């Protein structure tokens, strides 16, 4: 059994229970995509490309009144310890669906009828919580593509290890721990777009965990916002009067 929290209350990588891993977001990393971003969330490294809105192929999939959102979450063969077969696995197909459903409420798809918006997430290195990092990066890439959005989407996981509620689990904590709960929110509209729970939490633990996740999301939102502002406006943050 691995000791996940030591006697000082610190986790294996030295973090406190309510601390996220360091986050870095870059905008516009791919020249040929309509919008793109790159995120480093601890050891997770994900690159996201957005193409569209564009014509739907095959054409019968197009909706007359709105755009469709297609997401593809894919892990590179070299992203994990043992080689991952490049073919989309059951898990990847499911995460693709979950990500697209987490992003959809934030997008104003009615503005682009009969079109498709494609989001490609390529996980270059994975270390637990890659779906959350993927959602966070996708929202930035969609904003970079200039697609109308009601709000940004930010995601962060919470979980339970060694009987304690902790923020942002890494791969070992996820595997050895008792529960894992990814949460995605729209920070300005105060709405939740993703809530999954793997494991068991008591109602009190859930309340506490959810609050921790929302607070972490708000912190990550500031990183997202800063990445976009830096790319589009350079240093001067205030704007002109």
Partner 1 sequence: MTISRKYVTPGELIVEGDYKPINNIIRVDDKFYATKIGLAEIGRGGIRVIPLSGPYIPRVDDPVIGKIVDYSAFSWEVDINSCFFAYLPAQNVFGRDFSPDRESLSKKFSIGDLIYAKVIAYNRTRDPLLSISGPNLGRIPKGEILKINSAKIPRLIGKKGSMIKTIESATNCKLIIGQNGIILITGPHDGILLANRAIKMVESEAHLASLTNKVQNFLSESKEV
**Phi/psi of residue 105, nearest 5 degrees:** -60, -20
> Which residue, 108 or 200, is less far from partner 1 as judged by CB?
108
Half-sphere exposure of 120 (CA within 13 A, CB side): 13
User: CA–CA separation, 46 vs 23, rounded Å?
Assistant: 12
Smallest gap from residue 228 Cβ to partner 1 (A): 5
Smallest gap from residue 113 Cβ to partner 1 (A): 5
Smallest gap from residue 236 Cβ to partner 1 (A): 9
> Which residue, 22 or 113, is less far from partner 1 as judged by CB?
113
User: CA–CA separation, 15 vs 6, rounded Å?
Assistant: 11
> Which residue, 142 or 181, is less far from partner 1 as judged by CB?
142
> Which residue, 59 or 85, is less far from partner 1 as judged by CB?
59
Smallest gap from residue 144 Cβ to partner 1 (A): 6
Binding interface with partner 1 (CB under 8 A): 34-35, 52-55, 64-65, 106, 108, 111-115, 143-152, 186-189, 224-225, 228-229, 232-233, 237-241
Q: Which residues neighbour 61 within 8 Å (Cβ) at sequence distance 6 or greater?
A: 68, 116
Smallest gap from residue 183 Cβ to partner 1 (A): 17
Angle at which helix 90-103 crosses helix 130-144, to 10 degrees, equals 50
Q: Which residues neighbour 219 within 8 Å (Cβ) at sequence distance 6 or greater?
A: 20
For 68-202, where are the alpha helices, taking DSSP H only? 90-103, 130-144, 171-176
> Which residue, 52 or 177, is less far from partner 1 as judged by CB?
52
């Amino acid at each position: 059994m691995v000791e996940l929290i030591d006697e000082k209350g610190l986790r294996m990588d030295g973090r406190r229970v309510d601390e996220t891993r360091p986050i870095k977001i870059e905008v516009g990393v791919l020249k040929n995509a309509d919008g793109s971003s790159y995120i480093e969330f601890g050891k997770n490294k994900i690159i996201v490309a957005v193409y569209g809105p564009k014509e739907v192929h095959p054409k019968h999939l197009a909706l007359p009144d709105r755009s469709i959102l297609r997401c593809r979450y894919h892990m590179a063969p070299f992203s994990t310890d043992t080689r991952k077969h490049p073919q989309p696995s059951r898990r990847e197909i499911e995460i693709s669906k979950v990500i697209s459903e987490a992003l959809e409420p934030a997008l104003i798809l009615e503005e682009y009828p009969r079109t498709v918006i494609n989001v490609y997430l390529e996980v270059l290195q994975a270390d637990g919580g890659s779906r959350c990092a993927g959602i966070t990066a996708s929202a930035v890439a969609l904003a970079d593509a200039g697609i109308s959005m009601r709000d940004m989407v930010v995601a962060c996981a919470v979980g339970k290890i060694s009987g304690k509620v902790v923020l942002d689990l890494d791969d070992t904590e996820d595997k050895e721990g008792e529960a894992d709960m990814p949460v995605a929110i729209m920070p300005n509209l105060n709405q939740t777009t993703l809530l999954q729970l793997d494991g068991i939490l008591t109602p009190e633990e859930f309340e506490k965990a959810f609050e921790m996740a929302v607070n972490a999301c708000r912190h990550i939102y500031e990183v997202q916002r800063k990445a976009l502002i830096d790319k589009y406006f350079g240093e001067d943050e205030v704007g002109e009067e």
